[in-house]
Amino acid sequence: MTTIALITGANKGIGFETAGQLAATGTTVLVGARDADRGKNAAAALSEAGADARFVPLDVTDADSIARAAADIDAEFGKLDILVNNAGIAGRLDGDGKPSSTALSTLREVFETNVFGIVALTNAVLPLLRRSEAARIVNVSSEVGSFTMTMDEGSPLWPMAAIPYPTSKTALTMVTAMYAKELWNTPIKVNAANPGYCATDLNGNTGFRTAAQGAEVVARLATLPADGPTGTLWGYRWGATGEDEYGILPW
């Protein structure tokens, strides 16, 4: 049977590249995007490259949008094999961006997409994932949410002192662990991906890795074998090379 994958925020960046890499394996990719034009254009571009790609209107901050997407996937496919929770925002810059300048409205806005929306969507499609022989859930998190790396004065993350985006990724990594525990004795594996500092719209395209490189991490977790890990933060390890370039990161 055909593998069905839903990727949120798949109209650009890491989400788009992930869709392309999964499609290359024969997977039918559902391009989740809240902007209809961008979503349709992304699906069309993937299709032109040989992918079986379909646009799915999806705003993870809108309960009705989530319900419609889940119902449409159920009606057409009856199951879901891969869920990639990729959609995310950095939030606006309040003042100098430091914790003491952070507006609660900014914090709420970022968590609405990066955490609450992911929980809402995952819960909505979990019945479909349970119908898969061995579903995979990948939450696109980040090393910036690692307490260990953040508090290491020798880490490249040491200069960062901001609340909204980093704390949303810390929360998302714990959300990942909790779903992994709930689904521990099932074939479903749940992991958090660390694509690394990739050049995307999220950071004004300042990253030193490409979106395609970041997507490799996500695609690998989305296609883990039966003996693969669950409940990990896995991906690019800053500064590591060779065989150690990828691995489990500290939380």
Q: Which are the catalytic amino acids?
A: 165, 169
Tokens of 198: 């990739």
Tokens of 29: 């990719």
If you write DSSP's letter for every residue of 8-73 in order, what string do you get? TTTTSHHHHHHHHHHHTTT-EEEEEESSHHHHHHHHHHHHHTT-EEEEEE--TT-HHHHHHHHHHH
DSSP E strand stretches across 11-143 = 28-33, 52-57, 82-85, 136-140
68 and 74 Cβ atoms separated by less than 8 Å = no
- For 123, residues 6+ apart whose C-beta sits below 8 A from its C-beta are none
